[in-house]
Amino acid sequence: MITLLIPMPPSANHLFSTVPRQTRRGLKMVRVKSPEYTAWATPIAQLWRLQRVRVTAYPVRVRLVVTYGVGLNHARDLDNMLKPTLDTLTAAGVIKGDSIAYVHGVAVDLEPGDSSRPATARVEIRGPGD
């Protein structure tokens, strides 16, 4: 099993922004990664690449465990934290992809925590035999 500690993932509702881009055919609206998503994902992916964290046996099951604390809103949807986490695991090369060819299960769990400490998150990746 691989266990990775990460900052709280942004909501999937805030991963992309729509911005105008000039093209040869005129102005076009395009979707780009939001500044919040980029600020969260880029350093994590760089760290995982430097550490050469890689899954070698597939399929895997990915579990995101969120520990309650400061910064975690009670109205937040846990499932919205999965997409940025899986996409960053893929972009960093930790997993080959997040399709069903590679990932056979995903889960998000909320654990009790200390309301005076920041909320935390960890990713657990289990391969065959784990």
pLDDT per position as a tens digit, 102-117: 999 999 999 999 989 9
Computed over every residue of the chain, the mean pLDDT equals 93
Check pLDDT > 90 for residue 75. no
CATH number of 2-126: 3.30.1330.70
Q: What percent of the chain has pLDDT over 90?
A: 80
CA-to-CA distance for 112 and 52, rounded, in angstroms?
Answer: 31
Domain coordinates of the chain in residue numbers?
Answer: 2-126
Check pLDDT > 90 for residue 130. no
Check pLDDT > 90 for residue 73. no
Query: What order do you get walking across the sheet with 60-67 strand by strand?
Result: 2-6, 120-126, 60-67, 103-111
